[in-house]
Amino acid sequence: MFAIIALLPLVVLTIAIALLREGSRYLKYVALAASVTPLLLVPWLLGSIGTMQSIRWLTVGTYTLHVTTMLLPLNLLLFILVSIIAPLVVLYANGFMDKLSEDRRFYIEILTFQAAMLVFSIAGNFITLLIGWSFLSITSYLLIGFWNHKENAPGAARKAIITVIIGDLSILASAAIMFTTFSTLNFLTIISDIGGNFVASGPFYVAMVLLLVAVLTKSAQFPFQEWLADAMEGPTPVSAFLHSSTMVKAGTFMAIILFPLFVAAKLSSLMVLFGGVTIVIAISNALVNKNIKRVLAYSTMEELALILFALGVGAYAAAIYFFVMQTFYKALLFFYAGTVIKGNEESEDLENVRLYRGNRLLLAIGLIGTLSLAGFFPFNGFFANIMVESSLMSNTLAYAFMLLVDLGVSFFIIRWFVLPLRKVKNAAMLHKLSFSFAMLDKKMVYASTILAAITLAAPLGSIYIIGAIKGMNHYGYAAAVPSSELLDMVVEMLIVLAGIYFAYYLFYKKGRRIEKTYWLFNNSTAFNAFYRYFADFIYYLGGAAEFADILINEYFDKIGFKTAKLGGYIRNIETGSVSLYVIALIIGLALLIVGVLV
């Protein structure tokens, strides 16, 4: 259980924070130290790559349930990824969260989330997966609704938890079916069982469809996508951590780790379908949304859908590469958005916020993130996009789709970037703006800078990522090396440049606003209305159940009262006189003798 031991300092320090006085001003530094510890312990884990360890958890009769961790190259990759992002997010949060009284609650929840994500990343069987997954859902709920005085936050948190819990239950049901089909819950064992001559049966399909549902709910894909946009009610560090780089990617990570199972159940076309539909929904929403964080949320949705889409068409390695690269630039963009929000007195309206252009560092950071997302040349997003598209070049329809997607992406992200960069007309406002940006807590800037540097340097780590992908071949994963085509590179750059030019021209130079086409592209309200109709429908169905419930309640109340009264009668046996007790003893003895001998 070496991998679990790597989490021990984190857990211990989290408990220590729970015991600290609320409002202590050193709490956030303890939290920072806690979140760095897994990263420091990574070299120790490097020694046990490719191993799997399990401990017996519960033995019931002949069944034994284990808690298993596995350290395949992919697991270690995600572990390192989370360990890098987490301290940066906590550092950012040290600067961002300015109310000391909220600190203890916030950091406990963030650190628990980090521990849960790390447990999830090294999960070797369904039980460990479930433990990590459930904690992810709960901490996500707690963190989205963190500012519970905000008007929309509790509702958003509820929406998130209800959607994600559907996934939790699906995994539970799927694990139960897997247990009966394979009599083990261990991933590697199941994957090698599939590899032999395995005949897929009905229950197996059901189990895999349930797993797909879990992937869709966690990663906010159609039809479960609405919770992600509303999840932006949480503080920005939460959005940067959970809802861009780690938690929502847990769903796609499960799809990646269990990919042979999905292939065996022939669900690839479903993945392509759901991925493709979500891409369209996400881009269309992102094009017109007026909230700085929601655009990023829709963009995350689009990227996750892209990963799912790539998995569905079989571009396994490209999906993993994209998975890794997206983490960095997404978190970076959220950091940038957070600084802009802070500098504009917590306003999130894209049309009204302004970046103080004198702050060149922030400008550069934002530019790095934006160009990475758009897929501009030497930034990591470019290589990620290339990998995905090159795998699709054989299928013209899919390739054309991807090119359109790229155009849309670069269009909306450049719109998102240049809108706050417009000139501020009023000199007094400019002065105020410069002041508030100068007053930004420096920790936020440090975190953003470090992350920007990592994002810039990320393509240099491609060797390790490709090595990790190739390493997965030993364990039953057919992972081909991703390809990259020169033609594709050229086409990509052209498309991106086209998107940049159009967006820049429309929104910066001309200062256009999106009013007329808003109704066409913004489908989020339509989906929310659909959710409401569905919920109302279930509620009416529940009316019948409610009637039965009332009846049953009355019946059980009566039974309860009678039971209590019965207890009141029986208690009279205890008179307190020893003679009665002795008589009862003798009578019991006599009854036993008679009963046995007769």
Partner 1 sequence: MIFSIFYIFVALSAILIVTDMLGLVSKSKKTLFLLNITLLSIIGIVIAGMLAEGMNAAEFGLVSLNSFSLLFALMFTLGIIFVDILGYEETHYQSLLLFTGTALMGAFVVSFSNSVVSIFVGIEIISIATIFAMIQKKKDTLEAAVKFFVMSAIVIAIFSFGMVLFYGATGTVMLVKDYGMSTLLVSMILLITALAFEATLFPFNLWAPDVYQGAPTFATAMVGGINKKVGFVALIEIMFIAFVAYRGVFSNIFYILAVFTMFYGNLVAIAQKNVKRMMAYSSIAQAGYILIGLAVTTGYGIEGSIVQIFMHMLMFIGVMGVVLFMEKRNRNELNDYIGLYSENKLAAIALTVLLLSLIGMPLTGGFVGKFILFSSAVYNNMIWLAIFGIINSVISIYYYAKIMLNMFARKASARIESMGFAIGFVVVACAVLIIAFGIYPQPIIQAAQSAASYIAP
**What residues make contact with partner 1 under the rule CB under 8 A?**
55-61, 560, 563-564, 566-568, 570-571, 573-574, 576, 578, 580-582, 584-585, 587-589, 591-593, 595-597
Which C-beta is closer to partner 1: that of 151 or that of 574? 574
Taking a C-beta distance cutoff of 8 angstroms, is the pair 181, 207 a contact?
yes
Q: Output the smallest distance, CB 589 to partner 1, in A.
A: 5
Q: What are phi and psi of 123, to 5 degrees?
A: -65, 135
d(CA 479, CA 258): 13
What b/e string do you get for 280-306 counting C-beta neighbours within 10 Å, with b at 16 or more? bbbbbbbbbbbbbbbbbbbbbbbbbbb
Q: Output the smallest distance, CB 452 to partner 1, in A.
A: 42
Which C-beta is closer to partner 1: that of 26 or that of 57? 57
Which C-beta is closer to partner 1: that of 464 or that of 581? 581
Which C-beta is closer to partner 1: that of 5 or that of 541? 5
Q: What are phi and psi of 378, to 5 degrees?
A: -80, 5
Q: Output the smallest distance, CB 322 to partner 1, in A.
A: 38
Q: Which of 421, 116, 386, 382 is nearest to 241 (CA)?
A: 116
d(CA 229, CA 101): 27
Q: Which of 12, 39, 17 is nearest to 28 (CA)?
A: 17
Q: What is the maximal distance between C-alpha atoms in the chain?
A: 107
Three-state DSSP string of 320-358 = HHHHHHHHHHHHHHHHHHHHHHHHCCCCCECCCCCCCCC
Q: Which residue type is seen at 301?
A: M
Which C-beta is closer to partner 1: that of 49 or that of 55? 55
Q: Output the smallest distance, CB 60 to partner 1, in A.
A: 7
Which C-beta is closer to partner 1: that of 133 or that of 262? 133
Q: Please name every residue paired with 175 in a beta bridge, in sequence order, or none if there are none.
A: none
Residue with tokens 């007769």: 598
Q: Output the smallest distance, CB 5 to partner 1, in A.
A: 15
Q: Output the smallest distance, CB 56 to partner 1, in A.
A: 5
Q: Output the smallest distance, CB 137 to partner 1, in A.
A: 17
Q: What are phi and psi of 125, to 5 degrees?
A: -150, 175
Q: Output the smallest distance, CB 595 to partner 1, in A.
A: 8
Which C-beta is closer to partner 1: that of 197 or that of 579? 579
Which C-beta is closer to partner 1: that of 180 or that of 572? 572
d(CA 351, CA 507): 10
Output the CA–CA distances (angstroms, integers) from residue 42 to 12, 128, 258, 272, 278, in the order listed. Answer: 17, 20, 24, 35, 35
Element (H, E) at 411: helix 396-418
d(CA 215, CA 251): 4
Residues 6+ apart with CB under 8 A from 331: 85, 88, 89, 240, 241, 244, 245, 451
Which C-beta is closer to partner 1: that of 59 or that of 525? 59
Q: Which residue type is seen at 582?
A: V
d(CA 554, CA 559): 9
Q: Which residue type is seen at 171?
A: I
Which C-beta is closer to partner 1: that of 101 or that of 579? 579
Q: Output the smallest distance, CB 57 to partner 1, in A.
A: 6
Q: Output the smallest distance, CB 225 to partner 1, in A.
A: 33
